[in-house]
Amino acid sequence: MSSTDRTRPFGQLLTAMVTPFTVAGEVDLAAARELAEYLVDTQHNDGLVINGTTGEAPTTSDGEKAELLATVVDAVGDRASVLAGVGTFDTVHSVQLAEQAAKAGADGLLVVTPYYSRPPQAGILRHFRVIADASPLPVMVYDIPGRTGVRLETETLIELAAHEQVVAVKDARGDLAASARVLAETDLAYYAGDDALLLPLLSIGATGLVGTSTHFSGAATRQLLDAYGRGDTAEALRIYRQLLPIYTGIFRTQGVILVKAGLALQGRPVGPVRLPMVEATEHDLSHLRQDLAAAGLA
């Protein structure tokens, strides 16, 4: 469900969806359909990001990615934006994944800064431009230097914003001053890539959130966004403070581990994680229960 609104190209609230697996470790397409419908219809997401970090994309094959994406598009694509994570450290492979995503019916691409190789800014710029040039789909750039090992410099992002297909940023760099500058000098739509950065980023002009805890907190986060949108900043702050324990707690260990554990706790099991991820420990589960309860979500 594509949007023509440059300020909200994919809506306001998106969840980076986990990939359900069977007990045998195969992608569970039936569970993926059910989860996607739940996230859109009950948790009030405007969109879903498939095959991202929380979707365990590093451990799914290209074929699995295509099947999963097509399943989610078929399930909710008529009422939510569906973005495909296609970023890798290999530009050619990323282009191939972008082509695959377009064929599967995606509305947009999430492209992370190329990781591990730590290319210079000129290489990063060309990487994004080549992918954007090769696809008809709009691109959301994902800036998360803690994972990629390289920072997407502000000047690079501003230069990249001139590309017609680059419309948004998933911002997980944690530098509000830098983000404020890009917001002031470009028309990029900014989405918080760290749940706890949502309200701070909204205050400087951001659009919304690509969330992880929103597997559970989506409906309440929608209330936060609506309150902020109508100018009731006090109510938005109240909801933000209520949700802060799960916004931060979901990252006590790797997010997908706790999301899958939390869904199981709430009666929506989506199967195990794939190595090198491991299942939540009893210690993890104890904290997760506390965080959900503190956020009013238990």
Is residue 38 part of the annotated active site? The answer reads: no
Q: Which of 142, 190, 228, 240 is catalytic?
A: 142
Are 258 and 288 spatial neighbours (Cβ–Cβ below 8 Å)?
A: yes
Is residue 170 part of the annotated active site? The answer reads: yes
Strands, E, within the chain: which ranges? Answer: 13-16, 47-50, 81-85, 108-112, 139-143, 166-171, 189-192, 208-211
Q: Which of 170, 228, 240, 260 is catalytic?
A: 170
Using DSSP, state whether 44 is helix, strand or coil: coil
Are 287 and 240 spatial neighbours (Cβ–Cβ below 8 Å)?
A: no
Q: How far apart are CA 12 and CA 95, in angstroms?
A: 26
Checking DSSP bridges between strand 47-50 and strand 13-16, what pairing results, if any? parallel
Is 265 exposed, middle or buried (CB count within 10 Å of its CB: 0-12, 13-18, 19+)? middle
Could you give the residue numbers annotated as active site? 142, 170
